[in-house]
């Protein structure tokens, strides 16, 4: 079982923090769903800007839409929505919506909806990178995230949440965002490994996802090599 699958079984959902036409057309996203237990996706204008600027996959669609007189904004939304609809089709069993449980109960609506509270992880370490000694680099993000998770756990055992749970509400999950490492000297799976926790979501760029999956294979290889060495010396 690969690390992303193991974390999925342990209760942490894996989302991909990227979307490009190539991910869809080359079957990469579909492979992530089946092999890495990726169950969702996040995107933003920066991601689409990078996808459009760094490749040619969108050029024909851009030219066709511009030929009809569409504005730049209309073209952007058309391209983004087309890709997101295709991606959503791969996550059909997973429906993530937002609404406050208390408001839905007061309105007579079903409170059993899924939602997430996003926390952008690597921002603190990047902000103080040049102001702390080496032994304190890349530690603040993890410390703050752990405090947030502790507060989250405390909320789940509160009387306030118990009342909502009795009405059928589902607990909102913490979503770890921006989990790619910004410090080139740090391990690229630093935040992914440190924030492996049940009832959370980790949205990772595809490079980080691939690195995390590969790290398990490297570990197995080292264990195998060590076992062979011990067998030869026994």
Q: How confident is the model at residue 97 (pLDDT cuts 50, 70, 90)?
A: very low
Residue 69 gets the label, from left (phi > 0), alpha (psi -120 to 50) or beta, of left
Mean pLDDT of 161-171: 82
Return the minimum-mean-pLDDT range out of 22-36, 71-85, 167-181: 167-181
Could you tell me the fold of the domain covering 3-233? TIM Barrel (3.20.20)
Local structure of residue 136 (DSSP, 8 states):
G
| pTM given for the model | 0.72
The domain locations on the chain are: 3-233
What's the average model confidence in pLDDT over 187-207? 90
pLDDT per residue over 148-160, tens digit each? 999 999 988 899 8
What the block records as the tokens of 144 is 């703050």
CA distance 190 to 183: 10
Backbone angles phi, psi at 201, to 5 degrees: -125, 135
| Per-residue pLDDT band at 85 (split at 50, 70, 90) | very high
Distance CA 181, CA 124 (A): 12
Between CA 42 and CA 25 the distance in angstroms is: 18
Question: What pLDDT does residue 98 have?
Answer: 36
Query: Which of 205, 191, 158, 153 lies closest to 174, judged by CA?
Result: 153
Q: What is the pLDDT of residues 5-15, one digit of tens each?
A: 778 787 888 89
Q: What radius of gyration do the chain's Cα atoms show?
A: 21
* Whether the predicted pLDDT of 141 surpasses 60: yes
């Amino acid at each position: 079982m690969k690390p992303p699958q193991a974390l999925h079984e342990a209760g942490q959902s894996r989302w991909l923090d990227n979307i490009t036409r190539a991910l869809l057309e080359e079957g990469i996203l579909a492979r992530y769903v089946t092999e890495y237990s990726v169950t969702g996706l996040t995107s933003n204008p920066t991601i689409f800007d990078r996808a459009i600027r760094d490749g040619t996959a969108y050029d024909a669609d851009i030219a066709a839409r511009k030929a009809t007189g569409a504005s730049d904004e209309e073209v952007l939304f058309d391209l983004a929505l087309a890709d997101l609809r295709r991606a959503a089709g791969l996550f059909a069993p997973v429906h993530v919506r937002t609404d406050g449980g208390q408001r839905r109960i007061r309105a007579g609506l079903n409170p059993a909806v899924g939602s997430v509270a996003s926390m952008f992880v690597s921002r603190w370490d990047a902000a103080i990178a040049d102001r702390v000694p080496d032994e304190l680099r890349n530690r603040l993000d993890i410390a703050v995230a752990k405090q947030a998770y502790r507060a989250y756990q405390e909320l789940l055992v509160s009387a306030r949440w118990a009342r909502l749970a009795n009405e059928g509400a589902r607990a909102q999950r913490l979503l770890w965002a921006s989990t790619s490492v910004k410090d080139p000297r740090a391990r690229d799976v630093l935040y992914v490994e440190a924030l492996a926790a049940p009832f959370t979501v980790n949205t990772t760029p595809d490079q980080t996802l691939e690195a995390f999956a590969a790290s398990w294979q490297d570990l197995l290889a080292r264990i195998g090599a060590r076992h062979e060495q011990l067998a030869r010396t026994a």
